Amino acid sequence: MKKRLVVISFLLFITVYLTSCSRIAMLNFTTSRDNKQYREMVDKVFVALDSENKEELKKLFAESVIKTDSDIDSQINALFEYYKGPKESDEGVEATQTNEDVEHGKRKIELNGSFSVQASGVKHNVYLSIQSVNDFDKSEVGIHKLEFDSDEAINGKYFMHYTQDGVHIQTSSQKRSDVTKVDSWMLDYTFVDRDLTSDDYIALVKKDNDFEHFTASAGVANCSNSTYDRYYYELENKLFLVCVVESGKIEFIKLANEDEIFSTLWIAADRIMVEGEYRQYTTIDRRTALNEEVFKKFFLRSSKLKELIKEAGLPNGDKNNVFYTYYKLSDNRFVVCECTADGKNIVSSYVADSDHKLFLIWEQDDSK
């Protein structure tokens, strides 16, 4: 029952949040309309290729791509030299990912997909990205990326689709100069001529952990991972310094190789490890030191977070995290409180140390 209430509360919160936004993004929702438009574009591409009509292929690209990519003509020429038609068959032609933005009745739809084509006995792995609709900017409608890859390239250890618009061909398993692998991710890479050690970077962040100020001294990162707000600075011996950034501030500096992050070199003062994870931390000046008995007695009377704060003071955990917060005890362990989606009621509480959950203090009784 407790889990159901938490899930329902969370879903209600998400629903209210989405309906209050003027812009909604829908991912991976492919309709028959999307697949039909994607299929039509694929057919047009190969009609142009098989008829050796370079201008017709170029017309399929978005006007914005043609205008901004000064190399588009040479890219198209290279594709016509590489591809030998006619197309004999294809497999898996569909928009496997659809990104749709809606704002005040206007839409932008991006269709992406990978498929294979047999032409003159040769198998081509093709990636095509198009915008089928863009009510905000008509010049964006059309092909943005067209990529042909061999099996050898795709099966290589360092394979990565190009992220830049235009026409691309990959036939080798060798790592490209514009990509690198860090922390198991393949990322766009830019060479930067500098000679800084990990100690040099640590000295900079200790002086000022504002990321903008840090880059003013250290230079731009060699690569980045926007999914996790990580910025990578190349060191010697295939190692990378990893800056983890939140709200414009560097919170951690870690060390990584191609496959993993394996050590932490620096942590911001507003972070602490709780239960195996680095958590937001706020120092609270308390009149009375806290121990687990304080919480055991409290839960005999109440489970409301607001009342706990009145008695024990503000938690040390992130006040913006309504699901999870914690209090640091006098013995450097923690009392962790898990709360409902509205942040009003505590549903369970337990003691943890830096690495592990230790034992339960109190849990809501769903049978009552």
User: Which residue shows structure tokens 């201008």?
Assistant: 55
Q: Identify the pLDDT of residue 52.
A: 96
Residue 211 has pLDDT above 60, yes or no: yes
pLDDT interval class at 30 (50, 70, 90): low
Residue 195 has pLDDT above 90, yes or no: yes
The separation between CA 159 and the C-alpha centre of its own chain, rounded to angstroms, equals: 19
More confident residue, 78 or 319: 78
Residue 1 has pLDDT above 50, yes or no: no
pLDDT interval class at 67 (50, 70, 90): very high
